[in-house]
Structure 1
Amino acid sequence: MEAAWVDKHKGSYWGHYKQIATKNLIGPFIGGYPGRFRCVFKYPRNATYSTWHIRFNAEEMQQCFPPDTKYITIIRDPWTEFQSAFDYYAKKIQNNPYCFGMPQAYVLQGQNMGVNKFLLEAAKLLDNSVPWYFRFRNYQSHDLGLDPMLTDKEEFEKQIQKLDNDLDLVLINEYMEESMVLLKDTMCMNWTDVRIKPTKQKHITGFKPMKTEMHQKAFLKLNSMDLALYEHFNRTLWKRVEAYGRKRFAEDLEKLRAQSHKFKREIPDAEDEKGESDWSKYEPKGKEWMNALRKYMISNAGDCYIPT
């Protein structure tokens, strides 16, 4: 059984689980990100697993991944995801503000802002004319292949339902243990495959609350799709738990916790494991191919910003 992990940005810690699928891995950002995945940009061409950042495109992926591939992703609370992205891209501004630091550099315009002030400014400025705008506008919906600028509620509900049908499992970051039990069942894994290192669980601590009703409205303007997405798949997670059987699920949850406790003693801290990713081995050859990939990326808001 093969797996396509739809690795959304700022979704959750997935470092350990990437080690489960080590053969024929698709390379980072290959597939045309931030455009929807296209087989022509898949590299290596014989890849049967995907654990890197891609933008989900069910119909296209089904054409160039094995028929028994399971499509799995994870979503998290949109406000904590927004703050995580804010902190992450703030660091990128220092090195390359108008590419890797976008759209944060565009919103900040050289000013220092906290996340709440940034939220208000982003709600005024970010639309699809700004490169990488989606990083702070329905980021999770974007990475799952939806249009982050969509405002038609009825159409969005249809797209969520289609997404529900196309994905085999959606994990919830705030319920990581429950999600791992379901992942084991879906992928026929061993307990050692899905055990969690306790120090790497994404507990909701250290995040700032939204200050006022004005901030809440600004966040709703930017992330109404992500909020609806999170609510929908939170419900489906618990439906799957019910279908699993409460007694059986409780027993398996204890098995996972026992394995995770053992895991904590067996491996070093994740910070020690990290290291730098070797992207060179994924770098495709051919100027024509690279030009086509870049053109596709630019057409999907994946360009750099040039200040005027």
Structure 2
Amino acid sequence: MLSTLGGTQRSFRVILALLGLTVLLVGFLSSDAGLFTHQGQSWAAGPPVTNLMFLKTHKTASSTVLNILFRFAERHNLSVALPAGGRFHLGYPWLFLARYVEGSKQDGPGHQRRFNVMCNHLRFNPSEVQKVMPNDTFYFSILRNPVAQLESSFIYYKHEVPAFKKVRDLDTFLASPWTYYNKSLSLMNVHAKNNMWFDFGFDNNAAATEGYVRARLAEVERRFQLVLIAEHFDESMVLLRRALRWRLDDVAYFRLNARSAGTVTGLSPEAQERARRWCALDWRLYQHFNRTFWARAHAQLGPRRLRREVAQLRARRRELADLCLQDGAPKNKSQITDWQLQPYQSGQANILGYNLRPELDNETRRMCGRMAVPEIQYMARLYSLQFPEKPPKKIDFLEG
């Protein structure tokens, strides 16, 4: 009787141990390195995606995405398709050509060099992009509500765009846009009308007829595996991380190229409606991919898991801010002490930046610095690392 009882107890302990092991295994498989399963679908673990083309649209939080990509490229020693010579963009606002990339023909006559990552500003031209990016490249981009995107463009490009130069504020412009907007200056005025549509390579002055719009939306869907939404940036990073099989820290970020609250202009409901009509192509683009974004999020994760992963990302971002940043917060342009962390200032915007904690050890300082460095300085540094034989890029606003 006692031997039977002892055997039963041993069997019970074995079962408990197996159950505990199963719980640990399930936890591991649902973490960074495992098999993701939801509602009968599974996504097998594998190596991280390293061939990436990010269409960097304007005034859409794309500078923060660029920093994420630059950090990943540097950490994994990946090649980046950088602007040739002293340039800081890939031919924008003209359609992209492969020759705008530094070193694109280094592999000999008739042979185009391929790069792992492309993420600097360009106007999308798929046949030319494919000349410098591998066949298995993951294409993605980001969109923002065109009302907010236009307001940001107005402040940022106030002194550069002809349509904005002579008008007092955006409300005045939207009340009578054709008074200030000249089609014949289209390349100079791209930030004033359907700018995101233009960045995708389309005609920003085209009529928003149903057939034309549907055809272009279908084209974007064919070419881009994912379109992020700026207003839901953390949810976007969760989906991006999932698609690329990246670690949590790969998509953790500090907001870059963001304005101070005092330079953000509120628009009346009437002005917002005028902006949607004025940028009708951008509005259709945004509406369509906002819907597909949420359909994808709910199909792949579901609301509960999405909230959990967003919370995980935000918690990690707070940890990094507390570790890296002085006061854990962004600073006004006049408060930034390190010239290497000074963001470029444009128009009427007050672009915020960061100060690092002074007591950081060297390794932590390098890690934190990569997260806080503005895009122009980061690109210049990657250029010098990738092309040490070339003259370094000259950053005039830091030397002035």
* TM-score, reference length from structure 2: 0.60
Q: CA deviation at 1:166?
A: 0.7
Letter in 2 for 1:3: L
Q: Does 1:35 align with 2:91?
A: no
Q: Does 1:118 align with 2:173?
A: yes
Q: CA deviation at 1:170?
A: 0.8
2:79 corresponds in structure 1 to 24
Q: Does 1:224 align with 2:280?
A: yes
Choose the corresponding residue for 2:130, options 51, 62, 66. Answer: 62
**Alpha-carbon displacement from aligned partner over 1:126-184 (angstroms, at most 9, x marks no partner):** 24311421111100111111110111332112101110221111111110111000010
SS in structure 1 of the partner of residue 216 of structure 2: helix
Aligned residues: percent identity? Answer: 24
SS in structure 2 of the partner of residue 20 of structure 1: helix
Choose the corresponding residue for 1:8, options 57, 70, 73. Answer: 57
Q: CA deviation at 1:230?
A: 0.8
1:302 corresponds in structure 2 to none
| Residue ranges of structure 2 left out of the alignment (5+ in a row) | 1-49, 105-112, 331-352, 356-371, 388-400
SS in structure 2 of the partner of residue 196 of structure 1: coil
C-alpha separation in 1, matches of 2:117 and 2:217? 24
**Alpha-carbon displacement from aligned partner over 1:245-266 (angstroms, at most 9, x marks no partner):** 3143333223222222212212
Q: Which is worse superposed, 37-46 or 182-191? A: 37-46
Contact 2:125 2:201 in 1 (8 A): yes
Q: Does 1:154 align with 2:237?
A: no
Flag the 1:168–1:212 CA change in 2: closer, same or farther, 3 A. closer
Looking at CA atoms only, which structure, 1 or 2, has the larger radius of gyration?
Answer: 2
Flag the 1:125–1:221 CA change in 2: closer, same or farther, 3 A. farther
SS in structure 2 of the partner of residue 148 of structure 1: coil
SS in structure 2 of the partner of residue 73 of structure 1: strand
Q: Which is worse superposed, 29-38 or 5-14? A: 29-38
CA RMSD for the aligned pairs? 2.9
C-alpha separation in 1, matches of 2:146 and 2:311? 29
Letter in 1 for 2:67: H
What does 1:269-308 align with in structure 2 at a 5 Å threshold? 269=330, 270-272=353-355, 273-274=372-373, 277=377, 281=383
Letter in 1 for 2:305: R
Q: CA deviation at 1:203?
A: 11
Letter in 1 for 2:141: T
Flag the 1:231–1:39 CA change in 2: closer, same or farther, 3 A. same
**Alpha-carbon displacement from aligned partner over 1:65-86 (angstroms, at most 9, x marks no partner):** 0111111111111111111111
**Alpha-carbon displacement from aligned partner over 1:108-136 (angstroms, at most 9, x marks no partner):** 34x6x022113334343324311421111
Contact 1:123 1:218 in 2 (8 A): no
Q: Which has the higher contact order (CA 8 A, sep 6+)?
A: 1
What does 1:236-275 align with in structure 2 at a 5 Å threshold? 236-246=292-302, 247-268=304-325, 269=330, 270-272=353-355, 273-274=372-373
Flag the 1:71–1:88 CA change in 2: closer, same or farther, 3 A. same
**Alpha-carbon displacement from aligned partner over 1:25-48 (angstroms, at most 9, x marks no partner):** 222455432122222333331433
SS in structure 1 of the partner of residue 279 of structure 2: helix
2:145 corresponds in structure 1 to 77
Letter in 1 for 2:154: F
Letter in 2 for 1:132: M
2:188 corresponds in structure 1 to 132
Contact 1:8 1:73 in 2 (8 A): yes
Letter in 1 for 2:52: A
Contact 1:26 1:48 in 2 (8 A): yes
Q: CA deviation at 1:16?
A: 3.3
Q: CA deviation at 1:62?
A: 2.2
C-alpha separation in 2, matches of 1:132 and 1:208? 23
1:164 corresponds in structure 2 to 221
What does 1:38-49 align with in structure 2 at a 5 Å threshold? 38-45=97-104, 46=113, 47-49=115-117
Contact 1:136 1:222 in 2 (8 A): no
1:183 corresponds in structure 2 to 240
1:304 corresponds in structure 2 to none
**Alpha-carbon displacement from aligned partner over 1:195-219 (angstroms, at most 9, x marks no partner):** 233x669799664444364x45642
Contact 1:78 1:223 in 2 (8 A): yes
Q: CA deviation at 1:279?
A: 5.0
